[in-house]
Amino acid sequence: MTWFKEEARFISRPQIEAMCDRLLDEAKERLGIAEYRRVLLLPPDLTRAHSGTGWMTEYLYHRLDAAGTEVHVIPTLGQHVPHTRADNEWMFGSIPEERIHAHDWKNGVTNVGTVPAELVREKTGGAVDWEMPVDLNTMLVTEQWDLIVNVGHVVPHEVLGFANHNKNYFIGLGGKRLLGASHMASAVYGIENNLGNLLTPVRACFNYAEEHFLGHLPDVYLQVVMDYDDDGNLAHTGVYVGDDVETYYDAARASREQNFTLFDEPADKIVAVMQADEFRATWVANKAVYRTRMAIADGGELLVIAPGVERFGEQPEVDELIRTYGYLSQAEVIDLYRTQADMQDIPHGTAHLVHGSSEGRFTITYAPGQLSKEEIESVGYQYMDVEEALRRYDPAVMRDGWNTMPDGERVFYISTPSAGLWSTRDKLENRDTELHDA
């Protein structure tokens, strides 16, 4: 159940720090913890740095460390590139580097069970029928912890409907087999059937895995929801603390109310900016594609301005896969997947080829910092010079929402695509979403 929550417009940093204190105090009583000897903190990685979860993790670390607790931190990277020391300092401040551990999705995992194929088939409505081996970070599942705190930002998500909660475990600390099985299942089920739904098929499978394989863990979720303030800056509007799925539902419902932007008619052009210090590959910068695709008109255009993008994949083999096949439609990928060994070897990368495609419905134009015109066009996108894009659509001048340019062009501008979901009412309401209100 939800232990406690705060919803307001807006919630200050001192208020959130007080709730972190309350979390540590209540966890002892609710989970029967005599003392905190060893505690594990599981924050997101730097692609969610704007959420403030880095300073929350730092606050929890020092609160515990001052009391003599041995505290460790594992950023829930999934298969993203591990943080550098500079990344860790930028996101987590003064937490000692030796207490921050990089998740190894290939060699640093241990199997704790399997989500059976029959359940996956049931939850996906027969779309897929493979099992999900639950391989998780070895440090998480083999070492003894008095408390595990999952820290995260609940926002719409392309695989799980909404990010955070047990995504921290099964994606953020998952192994290659689990990442592949879950991402490919979501791609086959359909990205637009997942986005912004409270309970997607993969989320349902993860809930099963948490109940059956992680029920013994002394864990608690600290989740935040954010919205734009009057100055156009993201600010906290909700904090949710608890130890079960109801805590997720509370936060996800709030995100659904605050983080959806609905259009009566689709937009002909959307311009989205992906911050250079958070997004360095199209793998993560394509949140701009995921979160806006349901708002763009047939024949329209999405321009992604991504000054920090220097590669396609977060890992070399995924980068190579994207360069080999490009971004393709769901039907094309599923057809190729049956015969191509490289696709079958890294299905989470194969799923990304679908997620980053417009299905031929609209144009995706990229303005990257360090990828060439030839590279961008080779994967099926159009190219725009990043300096030209920043001059024309200057983030210092543009405002979130509709903007009319000096030459009369009308565009919808989004400064932080990773913080929401944009869709026409029609697309959001007419989907295959049996599990939506479960």
Per residue in 352-379, pLDDT (tens digit) is 999 999 999 999 999 999 999 999 999 9
List alpha helices for 93-137, DSSP H.
Answer: 117-123
* Alpha carbon distance 258, 229 (integer Å): 11
Specify the DSSP element, H or E, that contains 253: helix 245-258
Which bin fits 405, alpha (ψ -120 to 50), beta or left (φ > 0)? beta
Q: Which tokens in the block code for residue 129?
A: 């029928």
pLDDT in tens, 76-124: 999 888 999 999 999 999 999 999 999 999 999 999 999 999 999 999 9
- Amino acid identity at 389: A
- Amino acid identity at 248: Y
Q: For residue 385, what are the contacts with CB-CB under 8 A and spacing of at least 6?
A: 367
pLDDT in tens, 276-299: 988 999 999 999 999 999 999 999
Domains and CATH numbers, the chain: 4-260 (3.40.50.11440), 264-430 (3.90.226.30)
Specify the DSSP element, H or E, that contains 126: none
pLDDT value at position 48? 85
Average pLDDT, integer, range 160-175 = 96
Strand partners, 422: 261
Sign of CA dihedral 419, 423, 429, 434: negative
* Alpha carbon distance 167, 153 (integer Å): 11
Quick check: 434 pLDDT over 90? Answer: no
Side-chain-side CA neighbours of 82 within 13 Å: the count stands at 13
pLDDT in tens, 51-73: 999 999 999 999 999 999 999 99
* Alpha carbon distance 295, 261 (integer Å): 9
In angstroms, how far is CA 348 from the centroid of its own chain?
Answer: 14
Label residue 433 by pLDDT band (50, 70, 90): low
Label residue 173 by pLDDT band (50, 70, 90): very high
State pTM to two decimals.
Answer: 0.91
- Closest by Cα among 14, 25, 22, 7 to 52: 14
Strand partners, 267: 296
Cβ pair 162, 198 in contact under 8 A: yes
